[in-house]
Amino acid sequence: MKLAFLGLGVMGYPMAGHLARAGHDVTVYNRTASKAEAWCGEHGGVRRDTPAEAAGGADIAFMCVGNDDDVREVAEGPHGALEGLKPGAILVDHTTSSAGLARELEQRATARGLRFLDAPVSGGQAGAVNGRLTVMVGGDDASFRTVEPAMRHYGQAVTLMGPVGSGQLTKMVNQIILAGTLQGLAEGLNFAVRAGLDGNQVAEVLSKGAAQSWQLENRARTMIEGKFDFGFAVDWMRKDLAIGLEEARRNGSPLPVAALVDQLYQRIQARGGSRWDTSSLIQLLAAP
Amino acid sequence: MKLAFLGLGVMGYPMAGHLARAGHDVTVYNRTASKAEAWCGEHGGVRRDTPAEAAGGADIAFMCVGNDDDVREVAEGPHGALEGLKPGAILVDHTTSSAGLARELEQRATARGLRFLDAPVSGGQAGAVNGRLTVMVGGDDASFRTVEPAMRHYGQAVTLMGPVGSGQLTKMVNQIILAGTLQGLAEGLNFAVRAGLDGNQVAEVLSKGAAQSWQLENRARTMIEGKFDFGFAVDWMRKDLAIGLEEARRNGSPLPVAALVDQLYQRIQARGGSRWDTSSLIQLLAAP
């Protein structure tokens, strides 16, 4: 099966690498050509100058770019992937973008005799490098079964969530839950330290009970240390929360805490923390 | 070692039961005498009419009652435990109460040649019945080592957190973290259902990633079903949050989300949900 991978950022680069290492014939495209050259040097694939050319002979074209505008440019712009794909081929979008854009791309793909799946991932750069991402897919069952084996090379959990858009909606749920979880953890740990407790001991004890979370187990120590130069960046979280808040406006879901936490992340950006991990919420609570 | 247990409510009744089953000689007191009679019928211990009498011959007196006022009455009221305990004995308070009250009780105990430990628990009624509570202890090391073996009969994790009051402060951290975690989960799951996703499938998929939590794994299904007639009651959570919010006012910790969630629980009480599980926050978000 011939594959294309469009977008070799911190996520796409290692994801495409897993496909090549599994023996797939992968043609790549990246806006900054030097990165695509580096990828080909490492993995031995072929590089093309436009998404259309890269997607040309592919049975499946994966894309993983920044935001809705990037997706539009790479998928449906001039020399975009939809222009190049052959009839029956599948375009898969791994970008976290809006459910509305996913549905729009499905319509355009169908009009050209192509198929489309939205498939945002979670697990961050580490998950992409280790091949342990969670992949949340929206689309039809037959297309899902065609792409699933390839996705397994970088996804430890690959699940069809419903029709096109459902992958994006599931990812929004993930980020909404994270917002409350992280702020609760930040308030609790900051309180612990101000109360004179040993924050790490508190985290250890509470991880055995009802306050346990992945964030408590993986972020408490660095939150207490004030170490945030790693992980999932505040800029990306705000992009994702904006998508979720907009969708919630449409479907009528109240998100009082997610909206508040989005505002708190704006304060972190203003303090120069755009690239800090999302656990940096505790910084706003600490004494100045 | 002779033990006393004061307060045989949903927590104290099974906790005292574990001590008796382990072979300890347990004398009990309960405000409603019929419950103490039932306990003696089941476990074969002795019942007394006042905390002072029950604590009379004990090396350690455990208490587990409702709130600060109940603690004061049972510990330092007329015929209270401090009156009855013999020199060198230890009074242990398993009630979730304020750190200030714990320090006050320590002073009174010391003045009488007694010792005091605060030791709130988490894990709920199920944890008490199964002997799998988390016990967070504040006090001196020697007293801790004396009581720890007995606590192990109902505690899977028994930890000395620091001087008297530290157990209560740790429990406050637990409830503060829970507030944000539960509201984040409620907002996410409500959004999932309104977006047309299968909430249980979403919970299953997200439990493999960074949004995982004990609450997600143990409450998502019942939250989606709208089932709240079990678990940890909103009334008790509000009592605990009030203690945490008051302490935070003293130590200067901002708790924007915990304070908001406390207000949301007030709405649930107004809707008749005083006895509902804390996961009932999702009820306020659901369409009317």
Q: What CATH number should be reported for the domain holding residue A150?
A: 3.40.50.720
Q: Is residue B124 domain-shared with residue B231, that is, in the same domain?
A: no
Q: Return all residues near A163 (Cβ < 8 A) that are at least 6 apart.
A: A138, A139, A140
User: Hey, of A103, A118, A121, A177, which one would you mutate to test binding to chain B, going by the most B CBs within 10 A of its CB?
Assistant: A177
Cβ contacts below 8 Å, chain A against chain B, sum to 262
Q: Is residue B176 domain-shared with residue B158, that is, in the same domain?
A: no
Q: Which residue, of A106, A129, A162, is where some domain finishes? A: A162
Domain span at residue A197 reads 169-286
Give residue A39's pLDDT: 98
Comparing alpha-carbon positions, the chain A residue that sits nearest to B252 is A194
Residue range A34-70, pLDDT digits in tens: 999 999 999 999 999 999 999 999 999 999 999 999 9
Q: Is the pLDDT of residue B201 over 90?
A: yes
Residue range A80-124, pLDDT digits in tens: 999 999 999 999 999 999 999 999 999 999 999 999 999 999 999
Whether residue B131 contacts residue B18, with contact meaning beta carbons closer than 8 Å, is answered with yes
Structural domain count of chain B: 2
The residue assigned the tokens 């998950």 is A127
Q: Is residue A11 domain-shared with residue A136, that is, in the same domain?
A: yes
Q: Is residue B202 domain-shared with residue B184, that is, in the same domain?
A: yes
Q: What percent of chain A has pLDDT over 90?
A: 99
Q: Is the pLDDT of residue A287 over 80?
A: no
Task: Scan residues 93-152 of A and list those with Cβ closer than 8 Å to B.
Answer: 99, 122-124, 134, 136
Q: Is residue A192 domain-shared with residue A246, that is, in the same domain?
A: yes
Q: Which of B176, B213, B251 sits opposite A214 (nearest CB)?
A: B213
Does B28 contact A at CB distance below 8 Å?
A: no
Q: Is residue B76 domain-shared with residue B219, that is, in the same domain?
A: no
Q: Is residue A59 domain-shared with residue A78, that is, in the same domain?
A: yes
Q: Is residue B193 domain-shared with residue B70, that is, in the same domain?
A: no
| pTM of this structure | 0.97
Does A185 contact B at CB distance below 8 Å?
A: yes
Whether residue B43 contacts residue B16, with contact meaning beta carbons closer than 8 Å, is answered with yes
C-alpha span between B156 and B43 (Å, rounded): 22
Chain B partners of A99 at a C-beta cutoff of 8 Å? 195
Query: Region A172-186: what's the mean pLDDT?
Result: 98
Comparing alpha-carbon positions, the chain A residue that sits nearest to B246 is A191
Q: Which of A173, A181, A284 sits opposite B181 (nearest CB)?
A: A181
Encoded tokens for B246: 């008051």
CA distances from A115 to A6, A53, A120 (A): 16, 18, 17
Task: Scan residues 223-242 of B and list those with Cβ closer than 8 Å to A.
Answer: 232
Give residue B287's pLDDT: 72
User: Hey, of B130, B166, B169, B181, which one would you mutate to test binding to chain A, going by the most A CBs within 10 A of its CB?
Assistant: B181
Phi-psi region of A125 (alpha: psi -120 to 50; beta: other; left: phi over 0): alpha
Whether residue A162 contacts residue A141, with contact meaning beta carbons closer than 8 Å, is answered with no
Does A211 contact B at CB distance below 8 Å?
A: yes
A26 beta partners: A3
Q: Which residue, of A112, A141, A162, is where some domain finishes? A: A162
Residue range A9-37, pLDDT digits in tens: 999 999 999 999 999 999 999 999 999 99
Q: Is residue B106 domain-shared with residue B247, that is, in the same domain?
A: no
Q: Which residue, of A162, A186, A202, is where some domain finishes? A: A162
CATH number of the structural domain spanning residue B173? 1.10.1040.10
Q: Is residue A138 domain-shared with residue A236, that is, in the same domain?
A: no
Give residue A164's pLDDT: 98
Q: Which of B134, B196, B254 sits opposite A205 (nearest CB)?
A: B134
User: Hey, of B213, B232, B249, which one would you mutate to test binding to chain A, going by the most A CBs within 10 A of its CB?
Assistant: B213
C-alpha span between A241 and A160 (Å, rounded): 22
Q: Is the pLDDT of residue B73 over 90?
A: yes
Query: Region A195-222: what's the mean pLDDT?
Result: 97
Give residue B288's pLDDT: 67
Q: Is residue A29 domain-shared with residue A136, that is, in the same domain?
A: yes
Cβ of A195 within 8 Å of Cβ of B178? The answer is no
Establish whether this prediction's ipTM goes over 0.90: yes
Task: Scan residues 47-66 of B and list those with Cβ closer than 8 Å to A.
Answer: none
Chain A partners of B190 at a C-beta cutoff of 8 Å? 253-254
Q: Is residue A146 domain-shared with residue A197, that is, in the same domain?
A: no
C-alpha span between B166 and B73 (Å, rounded): 22
Mean pLDDT for all residues in chain B? 97
Using alpha carbons, select from B9, A61, A59 the residue that is nearest to residue A48: A61
